[in-house]
Structure 1
Amino acid sequence: MLRRKRVIEFYEIPYSEVYKNKTVSLPIALQLIIMNNGSLTQNFNSITGKKIQIHLIKQKTQKNQEIIRQVWIKENLHKLAFAESYWKKNNIQKNNIINNKPIGQSIILNEIDVYKEIKSIHYGYSYNLEKKFKVNTPLWSRKYTIWYNKKPLTIIQEFFSICLSKNSNTNRITN
């Protein structure tokens, strides 16, 4: 599954390098979100203490039978993240991924045993996302693959609002 880049990146960190070098500085809240292999919406819930909602923006099927799903992850009116996922059509149907629920919740409800492999972390600019987040600063994002039965189930890229780091100290990533 090859993707067109929609972000002008000026810094990409291969995930495997983050733990080796420990030279990347991230705000504490972003460390929890970006480095964690668990449920994104549950992590947001832990940080904000509030119910997290998914707002499905678009889900369309490409000619190659690949489905692109775009969602806003929100707490009330605050946009916390934008996520775009890429699925083979039969993966969604076969595994009953629910459109209006978080992917992690669908995986848990359907008792699907998966492995999340974070590929890279990005720090860069996206005019459209900055406009939607109502910020004029670079954004942090991560890209990962969710594996099921040793095959890729989906590829996901998530972009995070800078509001997560406004009240956090910047610390080095540590094990």
Structure 2
Amino acid sequence: MASATQPINPNALPCAWHALEPQWQAGSPLVQQGLPHDQMAPAWQILLLGDGSPTRHLQLLTREPTEVDVIDMSRVGMDLDGAPDIIRVVPGPRVRRQVWLRTASGQRLAYAASWWEASHVDEYLHNKSLPIWASLARLRTELYRDIQGLYFGNSPALEAAFGQPGPFWGRHYLFWHRGKPLTLIYEVFSPYLTRYLGPMQRPIEP
């Protein structure tokens, strides 16, 4: 199945993105420290709290190429778009991109929404059907992945899209390039990955 591409929609805020309804969430201090293993299994912590490429991790886990289906490229201007508050550090006006990450055989593994400065998005995502990691690797772009938040929650839309019941683990982070924020990314992972990573565990309710 070929990756889908979609041109930038010139209308502001034409559709929503799939934020989790969190049962639990944590900010940067806990992200840096890590969670007890009875709340999040070590393998899941490597995926969610490590600073490596999720695209590469998924490919190594599944032994299949990780492909992208682009479902949204929309101009959101200076609107905060319901994104994590740190979106304010990404210069505007902005473009929002939404994708499914899946195996070449079609299994959806993750969902991602990202926000880019509109004037630079074409520079870094020349081929919008490629995973962000692949696009930036081709440019030999040096990046720092700054994980800012962690979520455990529900989304009916993602349940339907993944074909898996929630709740789900998600995170948001900034990519920094040459000391400046390049993009904000919000990712949610499918419980399908338990077949490779084992049980997800659950955070302790406050």
Would you say same fold, with TM above 0.5?
Answer: yes
Residue 49 of structure 1 pairs with residue 63 of structure 2: yes
Residues 29 and 50 from structure 1, CA distance in 2 versus in 1: closer, same or farther, beyond 3 angstroms?
farther
Distance 2:43 2:161 in 1: 21
Q: Which residue of 2 aligns with 1:85?
A: 114
Counterpart check, 1:161 vs 2:190: yes
SS at match of 2:36: coil
Partner of 2:30: 17
Tell me: CA distance 1:130–1:45, structure 2 relative to 1, closer, same or farther (3 Å).
same
Gaps in structure 1 of 5+ consecutive residues:
none
Residues 1:121 and 2:186 are matched in the alignment? no
Give the share of equivalent positions with the same residue, in percent: 24
Give the alignment partner of residue 37 of structure 1, picking from 34, 41, 51. 51
Residue 135 of structure 1 deviates from its aligned partner by 2.1
Q: Distance in 1 between matches of 2:130 and 2:101?
A: 10
- Distance in 1 between residues matched to 2:35 and 2:26, nearest whole Å: 11
Q: Which amino acid aligns with 1:10?
A: Q
Q: What is the alpha-carbon distance in structure 1 between the residues aligned to residue 164 and residue 18 of structure 2?
A: 21
TM-score by length of 2: 0.73
> How far, CA to CA, are the matches of 1:147 and 1:21 in structure 2?
21
Aligned to 1:7: 20
Cα distance, 1:38 vs. partner?
1.5
More strand by proportion, 1 or 2? 1
Q: Deviations over 1:29-85 (max 9, x none)?
A: 422321221211110011111111111111112244311101100012210000000
Considering only aligned residues, what root-mean-square deviation do their CA atoms show, in Å?
A: 2.3
Secondary structure of the residue aligned to 1:30 is helix
> Which residue type is aligned with residue 14 of structure 1?
G
The structure-2 alpha-carbon separation of the partners of 1:125 and 1:14, relative to structure 1 and needing over 3 Å to count, comes to same
For residue 177 of structure 2, the aligned residue among 121, 144, 148 is: 148
Cα 1:35–1:97 shift into 2, 3 Å: farther
Please state whether the residue corresponding to 1:165 is helix, strand or coil: helix
What's the TM-score once normalised by structure 1's chain length? 0.85
Tell whether the 8 Å contact from 2:31 to 2:148 is kept in structure 1 after alignment.
no
**Residue 19 of structure 1, CA deviation:** 4.9
Counterpart of 2:25, as a letter, is E
Mapped to 2, the partners of 1:60 and 1:170 lie a distance apart of 33
Moved over 4 A (4+): none
Q: For 1:31, give the aligned amino acid.
A: Q
Contact 2:112–2:188, Cα closer than 8 Å, also in 1: yes
Does residue 138 in structure 1 map to residue 138 in structure 2? Answer: no
Q: Matched residues in 1 for 2:193 and 2:132: separation? A: 21
Q: Between Structure 1 and Structure 2, how many residues are aligned?
A: 169
Amino acid in the other structure paired with 2:49: M
Given that 1:66 and 1:86 are in contact with CA atoms closer than 8 Å, whether structure 2 keeps it comes out as yes
